[in-house]
Chain A
Amino acid sequence: DIQMTQSPSSLSASARDRVTITCRASQSIGSYLNWYQQKPGEAPNLLIFAASILQGGVPSRFSGSGSETDFTLTISSLQPEDVAIYYCQQSYSTPHTFGQGTQVEIK
């Protein structure tokens, strides 16, 4: 299985701060990388697929980049409604493993 490692595990930032979460794959996965947001008590929600393509309806403050083994999710201006856990997922080969998650909080 391909292992996905996210960092940091948690972060706390002020509203309007720029936030960056990284995800590293244990082997090259091209651009087969997705990002999900999970708010407390809710199902996950797809934010970005294929490393950098924003899912419809997702605010433009979210962006994704990277390829091969190193990927980044950026929130350009953190909003209170962005408090959530963020997961990366590789879809290069089954099983489509998730990272362990990054908890984002507001200071």
Chain B
Amino acid sequence: EVQLVQSGAEVKTPGESLKISCKGVGYTFSSYWIGWVRQMPGKGLEWMGIIYPGDSDTKYSPSFQGQVTMSVDKSISTAYLQWNSLKASDTAVYYCATCPEGAYQYLDVWGKGTTVTVSS
């Protein structure tokens, strides 16, 4: 069974750095794009970008370009989403999700989400 296992909730103060993870289980990690989606409290879904683990090809939404960094470690089938300096407005649930093999037109298997709280 294909699963994405996301890291646990984080509580950070503004200015801190953070790296959350998303581990792929039960499939060939390198062959499937992984997308990241933000959901701020009480709000809708926002597409942040996608990364192809095979060659780390990445497509960012302009809204998130320069604000976050997506990366992967193929050796441990894990994708990451990283911030260098968190802001209160980064408080949200962050979901990772896989796309169908070789394509990135939709997100078909989702992780349970990582809640990030940024507060002074």
Residues of chain A whose beta carbon lies under 8 Å from any beta carbon of chain B: 1, 32, 34, 36, 38, 43-46, 49-50, 55, 85, 87, 89, 91, 94-101
Contact = CB atoms under 8 A, between A and B. Distances in A.
Interface residues of B, number: 24
A23 B110 CA distance: 23
A22 to B, nearest CB: 16
B26 interface: no
B111 A43 contact: yes
Contacts of A55: 108
A98 B63 CA distance: 13
B13 interface: no
Contacts of B113: 43
Interface of B: 35, 37, 44-47, 49-50, 59-63, 95, 97, 104-108, 110-113
B45 A95 contact: no
Nearest to A92: B105
Contact of B44 (A32, A34, A101): A101
Nearest to A85: B44
A44 B47 contact: no
